[in-house]
Structure 1
Amino acid sequence: MIRGLYTAVSGMITQEAKQQVITNNMANANTVGYKADNLAIKKFNDVLIQNFDKVSGGKNVRNIIGSISNGSEIDETLTDFAQGLLQETDRETDFGIAGSGFFAVRRTAANGNQNTYYTRNGEFHVNNQGYLVTASGDNVLAVNMDTGAEGPVYVGNGKLVVDGNNDIYIDGTAQYRFRLVDFTDYKSLRKVGDNLYSGEAPMESNAVVKQKSLEKSNVNIINEMVNMMTVLRTYESNQKVIQSMDETLGKAVNEIGTVR
């Protein structure tokens, strides 16, 4: 009976965590370049059930009944990196990626350290210093066509145009090329906030940058609503199991165990 309580409670805990993931997906249904998450659930390690009721040779010997799981637990959070729809805009600094890949951006910490992150959100703008940056102010990285060095994109007051080779033209002159990267194992990517990812061993991507376009979130709001209802009903089922067990234990303690 007590083991059943633990099993039902573990189910409620995992369903609550799944509900949080679904809620976050729905909240980011309109976030540019957002990729939906899904919670993977696994069972606890099986527990061996045995007793010593079996008698052999006048002695009680171990009798293996079988095994039982103690419930479920959270395994990992998986991200769906499927391509979102590209929606056309009228802004020259909006960019969408067609294919597998990420923009590389550089963030400067308060202590001066610089870290490189990756994003599918191409909703950029030119800051007061004339550099192409993200909504959070991180520098968008590109390769300088003259030096071959990687660094921020300086636009100034110039007109910015990107061609089919991902080359960035400033006032008609090709000066940069977007640094698009990809990864062999997307499971190594970790969300760090602000729609950014951290990852190791990036490689060059063959994706194409579409100017005046933004990639919409790949969240399917209808599926998420269905998943939310399923999680709610599963949670309520576990809750009713706990209530039933609690009532049974109450009777066992207060009625069956009463000395008359």
Structure 2
Amino acid sequence: MIRSLYTAVSGMITQEAKQDVITNNLANVNTVGFKGDNLAAKQFDEVLLYNYDKKVHGKNVRQNIGNISLGSRIDDVATNFTQGTIERTDKPFDFAIEGRGFFVVNRNDGVTGNNFYTRDGHFHINSRGFLVNDSGDNVMGRNLRSGAVEPIRLEDDKATVDVNGNIMVNNTLTYKLQLVDFRGNNYNYKNLKKIGDNLYMGNNAREYNDITVKQSCLERSNVNVARETMELMTVMRTFETNSKVIQAIDETLGKAVNEVGSVR
């Protein structure tokens, strides 16, 4: 009886975690470049039940009854990196990546700070002339004169960017957007971690020249509202079912204690 109570409670905990993931997806449906998450659950290791009620030659012997599951648990929260819809904005410093790849931004001074990765290409020029994201992080690029990777600084706000990320000002190539991917990691983004502000942290990022950039465009969130809403309804019904199971178990335990236990 107690085992069944634990099983139902573990189910409620899992459904509550799923609800948190789904509501976060729905809250970011209009966030540029946002990638939705999926929560995977798995069952606890099964437990073998047995007793010694069986008698052989007058002795009690072990008898296997079967396996029982002790409920579900959270396995992993995986991010879905499928392409979002690319929409034109006609703003010169909006950029979208078509296919694989990430922009690189640097927090703090662009030199000693940490590099992070994002699909959110909603950039603008700050008061000091640096290209930054909405959080004020420096957008990194390769200086085509010195060859150094540094924060992109533009003297003119009328820059054009080609599909390879090359930035041209007054018909002069100045920078190339630093575009990276994680193809050395078995072609997946399994080790990338969301850190907030629509940024990711990860290792083994490598620059690639075959990443396609579109200027004056933004990649929309890849969250499917209809699917997430259906998932949310399923989670709520499952949570409610587990709650009713716990209520039934509680009533049964109450009868066992108050009625069966009081019989003399």
Q: TM above 0.5, one fold?
A: yes
Matched, 1:241 2:245: yes
- For 1:228 and 1:164, how far apart are their aligned partners in 2? 39
The equivalences for 1:47-126 within 5 A come to: 47-108=47-108, 113-126=112-125
SS in structure 2 of the partner of residue 181 of structure 1 = strand
- 200-209 or 22-31, which deviates more: 200-209
Q: Which region of structure 1 is more displaced relative to structure 2, 159-168 or 73-82?
A: 159-168
1:252 alignment partner in structure 2: 256
- In the TM superposition, residue 126 of structure 1 has moved relative to its aligned partner by 0.3
Amino acid at match of 1:250: G
CA distance, structure 2, for counterparts of residue 108 and residue 60 of structure 1: 72
Q: What are the Cα deviations for residues 118-173 of structure 1, in whole angstroms up to 9, with x where unaligned?
A: 00000000011100001001111111111211111111334211012221012221
Shift of 1:113: 4.4
Residue 169 of structure 2 aligns with which residue?
170
Are 1:10 and 1:72, in contact at CA under 8 Å, matched by a contact in 2?
Answer: yes
Question: What pairs up with 1:119-138 in 2 under 5 angstroms?
Answer: 119-138=118-137
Unaligned runs of 5+ in 1: none
| Greater alpha carbon shift after TM alignment, 154-163 vs 212-221 | 154-163
d(CA) in 2 for partners of 1:47, 1:187? 31
Equivalent residue number for residue 45 of structure 1: 45
Identity of aligned residues (%): 56
Secondary structure of 2:107 counterpart:
strand
Match runs of 1:133-212 below 5 Å: 133-183=132-182, 184-205=187-208, 206-212=210-216
User: 1:94 and 1:180 mapped to 2: Cα distance?
Assistant: 15
Question: Quick check: 1:229 aligned with 2:233?
Answer: yes
Q: Secondary structure of the residue that 1:187 maps to in structure 2?
A: coil
SS of match in other structure, 2:142: strand
Amino acid at match of 1:15: Q
Aligned residue identity for 1:102 = F
| SS class of match (2:258) | helix
TM-score by length of 2: 0.94
Counterpart Cα distance in 2 of 1:165 and 1:45: 50
> What is the distance in 2 between the residues matched to 1:158 and 1:215?
22
Query: What does residue range 209-224 of structure 1 map to in structure 2 within 5 Å?
Result: 209-224=213-228
